[in-house]
Structure 1
């Protein structure tokens, strides 16, 4: 199965002998399930701030890797990891102030009713845990997701992640709904369409003898094509789901920790109240730490009947990293930086759209943007091949992004929260150069 922006065997002919040798070693050692980005895969050996460096010393502007949320190898985070690793790293069955201090600080960023946190190592585990808790609380099994959602790789969560492709079957407990795409459905229609689709999914579950348990949504619909506006479009659908007894699980792995600029959490832009919120490795700048935050009554029965233990979920070193990340975000006012630089970057791309017909739509919030490419603005015909050429053209010019969406025609632009104006200028300059080449 191919992958959007994925390297294929057909691309190997243009590589050097050394590159082909490395790929052969990788295939032999890691097996066939792994994928590489770009027609010419990158051999990255070092990272610093918004930059990645390859084995030849070439520097790349990283406008994609959101896991290193406050920049690659941020010195404050690295120091926190090193200092704690010198002292102790163990599991959560001993008392330790590190996990408690961070938990209290993290919970203070959420609405008051979201007052419990449970730590895992990955976002996949966090979503898996959230679904277990939702099923225990509701007595149901049914889950609603969008048509190209990605929520993780455990068996349960992969079965609710259509973006993994036809080779990973959806669970019979899963119902998919159209993503709330204002560009193709119309901004004035998207809220009602989304709510109607959720109603229909709930009805279909019940007609099939499946009791609904949860609606699980990524706060910016990243795999569906980066869908952020109009703010509030989620509320009607979430209200429907919660009134019907489903728990709303807000997957903030990609949209959380200030990524959208206006708020620390993506769901806040829509005026909704999650029952459970999940986070992933951006909370530790790439360290293996993730979490589920929830209302206390939602987890009460689960906690009474099922022991929860995750050997290194919430370990002291990872909690030190996560605490340092939150200190950087709050201390350096990265929420404001994300909003300001994100608006500047988006405006620059919108200016390009006035000169290049290939750009059909520019959307997103903060430092998470989607740029939809079309061959005809009137028909909105997807420009998938152009999208591939733009992504690879930027890679050749030293700028890293990727692509997304059901039609494989949306540029996914997702730089670190420490992106600055000069970096946005370089991105826009490079993007225009690639667009000129295509013309």
Structure 2
């Protein structure tokens, strides 16, 4: 089939695709025609370094993953109501990475992300009006705990020196449980990413999840760890991000990197919870979840992570990124904070290190210019869209880090020459004196 020009592709999309479907770099969107490893290529053959695509976990179009899907598709693809080897093998391989209590797997088609059904949107601060410019009001049966951000959250390191910030933030969850019980209601559960991605690349203070899980379980609830963006070795030191907090969830959700771009996801839980699900009379069936092709692809992804030592690479390259970023921070006052684990890193840009006012417009400038001038794809996260996020394919290298840091150094040096509008959504937080 003949490839369309970029202009025709854009017009075709505008005509037939829903307006709610957004593009990256909306003012000048990219037309990507191929990709490999940590690189993407536009219709003119320009190469872009991909620093944000955590979906293509083991690298874009990894040959082994592609071959696994191709060979299985030639042989059989059907639903999970027939016996086939791949679904059992995949479940076995996933649970082998988990604490022994987490031993039952439900295969799904795709992760919910921040929700395309109301039950998921209802529990997503990313979509609720409590953060950003949300589109949905938080329902009365949902409580949002303060994000345990030790840099710009309710409790921050500079105002509580030497105190256990994990406990302070966890006590907020404890107090919510008390409020729920005071109203004569029960606590169903607590769900959180094991590290906050859209929240601004937030790494929880030590002990936070341990204390939260204790409070929630004492209140009669279950604990759910969302590993959709931070799992599968991305944090480097562990295969799952919840392990960095020393906890064992009751339920773990995963997706995105699980299929390296192919739609496959899973929920892993305990025998007790799985039995309760069955005993309520509910049967589970997903037309595409657990099909032989998706399972073959997911199995290949796990094999590649192990064979190519990508978890180790995430640790080594991630530590290198943190070190190079810290050196850059000493040179540029606009970098207020650098945080992360493995290849999950955020550079928090500020206008003033003392007040920590977010540099939202400046971050937007950096993202746009990194794309146009240096062919590097970055994006922003956090309530103020001022955190440069790094969640690249796991094959990212130290040379890639050097290239990105060099380009950021150049751009941050330019910023004093520009004038930017005030960060209109910024409000002073309680830690300011």
Report if TM-score (shorter chain) is over 0.5.
yes
1:384 maps to which of 347, 355, 360? 360
Contact 1:229 1:363 in 2 (8 A): no
Query: Do residues 117 (structure 1) and 105 (structure 2) align?
Result: yes
2:6 and 2:164 map into 1 onto residues whose CA distance is 49
Match of 1:338 in 2: 314
Match of 1:141 in 2: none
Off by >6 Å, runs of 4+ in structure 1: none
Contact 2:166 2:204 in 1 (8 A): no
Match of 1:355 in 2: 331
1:432 and 1:158 map into 2 onto residues whose CA distance is 38
Query: Do residues 369 (structure 1) and 345 (structure 2) align?
Result: yes
The Cα of 1:105 is off from its aligned counterpart by 1.1
User: Over residues 272-301 of structure 1, what are the superposed CA-to-partner deviations in whole Å (9 max), with x where a residue is unaligned?
Assistant: 110000001211111111000001101202
Match of 1:322 in 2: 298
The Cα of 1:232 is off from its aligned counterpart by 3.2
1:212 maps to which of 180, 187, 195? 187
User: Over residues 366-420 of structure 1, what are the superposed CA-to-partner deviations in whole Å (9 max), with x where a residue is unaligned?
Assistant: 0010110000001111111111111111111111121111122111111111111
Contact 1:181 1:190 in 2 (8 A): no
The Cα of 1:28 is off from its aligned counterpart by 2.4
Query: SS of 2:403's equivalent?
Result: helix
2:292 and 2:140 map into 1 onto residues whose CA distance is 39
The Cα of 1:318 is off from its aligned counterpart by 0.6
The runs of 5 or more residues in structure 2 that have no matched partner are 128-132, 158-162, 417-433
Q: Which has the larger share of helix?
A: 1
The Cα of 1:42 is off from its aligned counterpart by 1.1
Match of 1:243 in 2: 218
User: Over residues 250-292 of structure 1, what are the superposed CA-to-partner deviations in whole Å (9 max), with x where a residue is unaligned?
Assistant: 0000110001111000000001110000001211111111000
The Cα of 1:422 is off from its aligned counterpart by 1.3
Query: SS of 1:202's equivalent?
Result: helix
1:170 and 1:42 map into 2 onto residues whose CA distance is 35
Match of 2:429 in 1: none
Query: Do residues 155 (structure 1) and 155 (structure 2) align?
Result: no
The runs of 5 or more residues in structure 1 that have no matched partner are 1-17, 125-149
Contact 2:166 2:206 in 1 (8 A): no
Contact 2:317 2:398 in 1 (8 A): yes
Contact 1:257 1:283 in 2 (8 A): yes
Contact 1:280 1:291 in 2 (8 A): yes
Distance 1:262 1:210, change over 3 A: same
Which stretch has the larger CA shift, 327-336 or 359-368? Answer: 327-336
1:98 and 1:19 map into 2 onto residues whose CA distance is 40
Which stretch has the larger CA shift, 427-436 or 89-98? Answer: 427-436
Query: SS of 1:114's equivalent?
Result: coil
Distance 1:97 1:347, change over 3 A: same
The Cα of 1:356 is off from its aligned counterpart by 0.3
The Cα of 1:22 is off from its aligned counterpart by 4.2
The Cα of 1:53 is off from its aligned counterpart by 0.5
Match of 1:407 in 2: 384
Matches within 5 A, 1:174-185: 174-184=142-152, 185=155
Count of residue correspondences:
397
1:41 and 1:210 map into 2 onto residues whose CA distance is 48
Matches within 5 A, 1:80-99: 80-99=68-87
Contact 1:81 1:318 in 2 (8 A): yes
Query: SS of 1:169's equivalent?
Result: coil
1:352 and 1:171 map into 2 onto residues whose CA distance is 43
Match of 1:14 in 2: none
When the two chains are superposed, the root-mean-square deviation of aligned CA atoms in Å is 1.5
1:102 and 1:272 map into 2 onto residues whose CA distance is 23
Matches within 5 A, 1:214-363: 214-304=189-279, 305-363=281-339
The Cα of 1:152 is off from its aligned counterpart by 2.8
Match of 1:173 in 2: 141
TM-score (structure 2 length as normaliser)? 0.88
TM-score (structure 1 length as normaliser)? 0.87
Contact 1:194 1:234 in 2 (8 A): no
2:237 and 2:290 map into 1 onto residues whose CA distance is 28
1:423 and 1:84 map into 2 onto residues whose CA distance is 34
